[in-house]
Structure 1
Amino acid sequence: MLIIARLPKKDRQNRLVQFLQENPFATDEDLAELFQVSIQTIRLDRLELGIPELRERIKSVAEKNLDPVKSLGIDEVIGDVVDLQLDVQAISVLEIKEEHVFARTQIARGHYIFAQANSLAVAVIDADVALTATARIRFVRPVRLGEKLVAKAVVRNRDGDECKVRVETKVQGELVFTATFRVVGMSNVSTRNI
């Protein structure tokens, strides 16, 4: 992560506003490290500037950018969906907590990382029902307790009811997981027949 040399308060606050416009998912800890100040200083800056805490920023971004999920319930997507444009792209954020890691190593269990990507690939499809047919996945590096996964799904191409969806998951801009899913969408299907 780029670190900004210590700045006077006014300059720091201006840079903080600019940085958060481009990176709304940055935590107070990330910002404190970036600006070389305490977390409390960042919180005071946010309070003075009227910038909400991370959870509120995520909700705000999500409310502006969400199409209604059709293929599954929004609560069935792993992570917080912050952008959804059906048949185009989707973004979700998942913070790795104690329940997501192995106790001894504090490394995230792979099925949570996969589940975030897979559920996002299904959610982005504009169909009543969407199912994963195949997946090619690659874990690039281990993810640790406290890291925030930002997964972005992009629909690459559509051939009838089939879509190829590419998902890249990053931690602070660093690629940690990639997947290409072939997802089949079905409209006007009774879920009792599935």
Structure 2
Amino acid sequence: MSRSPDQVIEKRLERLRAVLHQEPFLTDRELAARIGVSLPTVRLYRLRLGIPDVRERTRQLAERLVRPRSLYASEVVGEVVELELGRRGISLLRTTGEMAFARTGIVRGHYLFAQANSLAVALIDADWALTGSARVRFIRPVRVGEEVVCSARIQRSRGSTHLVVVDSRVRQAQVLRGLFVVAAPRDGPTEEAGDEDGSGR
């Protein structure tokens, strides 16, 4: 039995809600491709559901954000859009030409590392934290214009030392994964303390 036009639309609206729940940073063009409708149609669906565009969704998430303790928000590479201190967080990196190699348009790896590392440090519920070690694997290149969504979670903690798992993706494709050991000693920083890239303090 074929569906009526209204049933088809309702099914697409449910799909739109579900996709945005899993991936809130998708653009209208990406949503249209995911749902199988035109760009004007996905915009009409968003308006019908009262869902703002991607920039407004990002701003709204940022307004509800818990601020990091272990470093200043401005020291996190990318926009922190979700943060549960001591548990998990998400950041969004909008790549630009200044981040890339001129010849290839591929984003330099240290930007992806810095996004992952600074988010791992930002998770720590302490006045300061430093990266002790990192094991990172780059899965595929990121090109200028792509948006990197980085998710980090504390896998386990032992005293003041935390193992943080990081996963960075462009849409559904994984581009980086890493394990960071982040420490927040109770006696505070010393003159000798510091990590390689200074993303902790």
Output the TM-score relative to the length of structure 1: 0.85
Letter in 2 for 1:132: T
- Does the 8 Å contact 1:90/1:153 carry over to 2? yes
1:148 deviation in Å? 1.6
CA distance in 2, matches of 1:17, 1:108: 31
CA distance in 1, matches of 2:189, 2:143: 41
The alignment status of 1:173 with 2:172, answered yes or no, reads yes
Letter in 2 for 1:43: R
SS at match of 1:129: coil
- Does the 8 Å contact 2:15/2:35 carry over to 1? no
Structure 1, gaps ≥5 residues long = 1-6
CA distance in 2, matches of 1:38, 1:72: 43
Letter in 2 for 1:150: V
- Aligned positions of 1:1-194 closer than 5 A: 9-64=9-64, 66-187=65-186, 189=188
Letter in 2 for 1:36: G
1:87 deviation in Å? 1.5
CA distance in 2, matches of 1:191, 1:68: 24
Letter in 2 for 1:18: A
1:10 deviation in Å? 4.9
Letter in 2 for 1:22: Q
Output the TM-score relative to the length of structure 2: 0.82
- Does the 8 Å contact 1:152/1:169 carry over to 2? yes
Percent identity over the alignment? 46
1:12 deviation in Å? 3.0
Summarize the Cα distance change of 1:190–1:143 in structure 2 as closer, same or farther, 3 Å threshold: closer
CA distance in 2, matches of 1:102, 1:72: 29
- Does the 8 Å contact 1:165/1:181 carry over to 2? yes
1:110 deviation in Å? 0.3
Structure 2, gaps ≥5 residues long = 1-6, 194-201
CA distance in 1, matches of 2:73, 2:114: 14
